[in-house]
Structures are given as C-alpha cells and as structure tokens.
Amino acid sequence: MNRYPVVVIGTGPTGLLLANFLGRYGIKTLVLERLDALLDEPRAVSIDDESLRALQAVGLVDQVLPSIVQGYGVHYFSYAQAEFARIEPRSEEYGFPKRNAFRQAVLVGQLAQGLARFPQVEMRFQHEVTGLRQSDEGVTLEVKTPTGVIQVEADYVVGADGGRSSTRDRIGSTLEGHTFAERWLIVDLLSRSTPFRHTRTYCDPARPAIRLPGPDATVRYEFMLKPGETEDFALDEARIKAWIREREPSDEHLPLARKVVYTFHARIASTWRQGRVFLAGDAAHLTPPFAGQGMNSGLRDAVNLSWKLASVLQGQSGPALLDSYQQERKPHAWALIKMAVLIGKYMQPKSRFGAMAAQWALKLISLFRPARDYVLQLKFKPKPRFQQGFFVPQALGKEAVHSGQLLPQPWMEAPGGGKVRLDAALGTGFALLWQADQALPDAWRQLARQLDARIVRFLRVQDDFLSEQEAQGERLRDVQNVLGPILDDAGAAGVLVRPDRYLFAYLDAQAQRSEEVRRTLSRNGWELGA
C-alpha cells in the first residue's frame, strides 16, 4: 500500500504541476506536504507563455486563463517619475502572451483541484519526510505523520520542497551563487481602483520601487531598503503608506493583504540528481524576481522531468534518459538567473548619475529599430533551447529554430475552418509533424509507429484543403505561416517533436538521417528493432 512509482515532496506550483503531468501520463504518484494545507500566500505574480503552454498540455489552461491578466507590459520611470521606456511584447510565439499577471495561491488551488481528475494520484498533508535512503531497487522514505512515523517506498523521488529543501541537503547538493546585499519590502494590497494594467518600475536611486497590478483588483508594491534599515522600520504601516502615496496616491488606503521583507538570491544547486532522487523548482534554483522567472523556471522543470519519468516507468525508454534532465534544465535556469541579475542592476541604480546614464542609453537604443524590438519584444530573454541533452543536433544559422529548442505553437486551421493551437493536434506523446505536399518515407512512418507518435501533416498558408487530401489523414493549415519557414531554414520536410514540445530532430524527405535519429533513441533505451 505504501509503494509508489513516484513520490513528490512539496505542494508548491512545481510539485503540483509535476503531479498533474504524472497523473495525465497514468503514473501512480504520492504527493507529500509537511504543512496542514496548501500555502495561501501571494508569492510569484508573473506567469509567462511557456508556463501557460504547460498548463494547456496538462488540460488546465481553460480554468486558469479567466483568473489572470493576460499580456501586461512594464513601463520604466526615472528618478523624476518621468516615463522613459516601455516593454510591451505583443508576439505569442508559444500560443499565449509573453507576460501575464496571476495570483500564486489561486494557481496552486487550481493545480490541486486538477489532481482530482487522477485517482492514481494521492496528496497527503501533515506528512513530513524525516529520512531518506536509496538502493538499486528504489528509495525508502521515513515520513512523520499525525499518527506516527511510516515508511513509504518509491521508484523515484522528486524534491520540490522549496528554497530550504531538506531533500537537497539529504542528497548532498549545495547551492552555488550569491545572495543580494539589498533587501526588498513586498506589500500586497486589495481592491485597487486604478485600472492601469501594466507594471511601473521606478529606477530611482533614492528608493527603487515597482508597482505590479494583478488580477481581482490586487496590486503589489516592492520597495528596496537601504543599508541599515531594519525590518521593523520597513514594516511600519504609516511609512509603507507614505511610500505608496509617492507612487500612486489612490493606493494609499487600500486593504493590506501581506507585508514582508525579502532577501533575494541568485543560486543554483550543484547537482539536481543523486541516483533516484531529483530536485525541482526552488529546491534546484533560486532566482531574483526582477525578470519574473522564478516560479516559471520551476514549472519548466516539471514539464521536462515528468515525461521522462513516465517514459522510463512505463518501459518505453531506459534510465539513461533521466541523465538529460539536469543536462538540459540547469544551464537554461542559470541563464535566466543571470538575466534577472542584470535587470536588477538596471532597476537598482546606485546614484542619480548612474540612473541618468542607464536611462539615456535605453532611449538611444530605442532609436534603432532592431535594438528597440530586441528590448520591447523581450528577445533578450534566453531562448528555451538546450545546448546538450536528448535531441539530434544539426548545424543551423543563428536565428533558426534549432533541435533541442521549444517549437513555436501557431494557431492551425482544420478542414471546415475551425482553429486549434498546434499542441492540441500533436497529442501528449511524441509527434511527427510533416509537410502535406511531401511524401512521407516509410522509414519515418515506421519510426512514428514504434514511438507511438501521432503523425500530423500540415499545409502551408498559401495552400488550401482538397477533398482527396482530407480523406488521407489528419491535416491542418498553418494560417500564421510559422512552420514552413522553420523547415525551410533547416532544409527539412518534417520534425519529430518530444512530448514536452521540444524539437527532437529535423527529418529529411529522403530519410537519410534515419540511422542517426535511431541511434540517439537507442542510446536512451528505446528498443526500436529493425
């Protein structure tokens, strides 16, 4: 009764999304939480397009979208409170707006409710892991419960137990990086009356500050504290109201939901795996909030690890596949941490001269359109692309979509005129995406069958459906003209896409790469035969 393929420790967004994915893949899973309920605190406030795509994949995005503010931007203000720059990305490369405001406690509740769909997933509160030991056959957990100590057996364990992770300590992993000297006061307010939806960032050396409107008329303020300012000084409500009044007078008397002083970290775990135990979310990386990527990075961990665990446990691949988790995720998480550090330096000028220099530099950059688009469309954000891991490399130009990179998700048109996002057509496993005007070689067709991959053929934007084509199988029209140019850049006729929608390999019309693709799969435990 106490044996599970996967035990997840922690009920934050990372642990709960991971459990939802495992449930969707049919994996019996136990989620353990030492507290007596879900944490009901406003923590992260920004959810990005990749995370919404993950929620789409797990079947919850329709429940989540009504409770978020989609597509907000950031307006930057000088020390004189004069606006000097805006970042308002409008592209939806992965099917959703790039920046969205949300309430973490609401999302956590929605993820927890989502687990009710999966009878094979259990969640137990007041269950604290107090010991862990591994063998070649599995992991034994010692768990303190309200009625005594029990043992739980697992094939694999994922520690998603936060920045103070005891799982991380138990596997001997350490946090590398640094902690910011600056501390910030976080204030969450209710019932705002100002409808302005975008974030305001005040790059003021006297007191850097951020105002972040959220859903349900909420608003968050963040104020940087100066050296020597104590927590008691910062948490004084009269002082907080005065600081808020300087930025937005109408917010001064709003009901206070939370006030807390934070120290920010730029740290990453030295190892994300020991044997059968993995780290995910804040247990694996701590990100400064300036880029809004802390929670989002944790959700990426859950997407990456969940399908690999499911594939190994269901006998589709071998355990070697799990080596690619840290290989793929750690460098990308660290790249986002470094981006957040740079943004933080820009937002926290040390002097008025430094603030003026940085702000004028951004104004000058904005005069050059490619540079302006680089900033306004968030192109400086590190791409979701792996340098090494589970994919078949191919040399391409710098701007191309590379194998090992997240495939864009355009809207597709079905026969009859209905529109669907690409992922809805690709299914939950591997998928083979192929140009409709090209013959599909038997080698690729056989590979798709061996991987149980769905084959989806697409028409280019300039083409139309013909009745004889519609009878041949599932076909969709790329109405946004996204996929065709990607294949043209690679000289390919199709792509093999992983369950997490990262591009595994480009496929050629003559199937000359067939052996290379098969070798990569075989090295990771797939038994494909002849």
Backbone angles phi, psi at 412, to 5 degrees: -120, 145
Residue 190 has pLDDT above 90, yes or no: yes
Q: Which of 74-88, 166-180, 493-507 has the highest mean pLDDT?
A: 493-507
Closest of 431, 482, 480 to residue 457, by C-alpha: 431
Q: What is the mean pLDDT of residues 187-191?
A: 96
> Which value, to the nearest 10 degrees, does the dihedral of the CA atoms of residues 110, 113, 118, 124 take?
110
Q: Is the pLDDT of residue 367 over 90?
A: no
pLDDT at 379: 60
Q: What local confidence, expressed as pLDDT, does residue 348 receive?
A: 61
455 against 181, higher pLDDT? 455
Of all residues in the chain, the percent with pLDDT exceeding 70 is: 91
Whether the pLDDT of residue 313 is over 60: the answer is: yes
Domains of the chain: 3-67+99-176+266-346 (3.50.50.60), 411-523 (3.40.30.10)
Position 124 scores a pLDDT of 97
CA–CA separation, 129 and 148 (whole Å):
12
SS3 (DSSP) at 17: helix
Most confident of 119-128, 217-226, 292-301, 390-399: 119-128
pLDDT in the model for residue 448: 96
pLDDT for residue 471: 41
What residue type is 163 in one-letter code? G
Q: How far is CA 251 from CA 78, 195, 204, 301, 353, in A?
A: 20, 11, 19, 37, 30
Report pLDDT digits (tens) over 14-64: 999 999 999 999 999 999 999 999 988 778 889 999 999 999 999 999 999
From 163-172, 180-189, 235-244, 371-380, the region with the lowest mean pLDDT: 371-380
CA distance 94 to 298: 18
Confidence (pTM): 0.92
In a 10 Å sphere around its CB, with 0-12 CB exposed, 13-18 middle and 19+ buried, how is residue 487 labelled? Answer: buried
Residue 282: the pLDDT is 96
Chain segment 387-427, per-residue pLDDT in tens: 999 999 999 988 899 999 999 999 999 988 889 999 999 99
- Quickly tell me which residue has 């000058």 as its tokens: 364
**Torsions phi, psi for 332 (to 5 deg):** -70, -40
Can you give the pLDDT at residue 349? 59
pLDDT digits (tens, 9 = 90+) for 457-491: 999 998 888 765 554 557 899 999 999 999 999 99
Mean of all residue pLDDT scores within the chain = 90
Q: Of 326-335, 350-359, 493-502, which gets the smallest average pLDDT?
A: 350-359
| 461: CB partners within 8 A, 6+ apart | 477, 478, 479, 480, 481, 484
Q: Distance between CA atoms of 59 and 421, rounded to whole angstroms?
A: 13
CB 391 within 8 A of CB 385: no
CA 497 to chain centre: 18
pLDDT at 473: 53
Check residue 235 and give its pLDDT.
96
Over residues 90-100, the pLDDT tens digits come to: 889 999 999 99
Residue 1 vs residue 87, higher pLDDT:
87
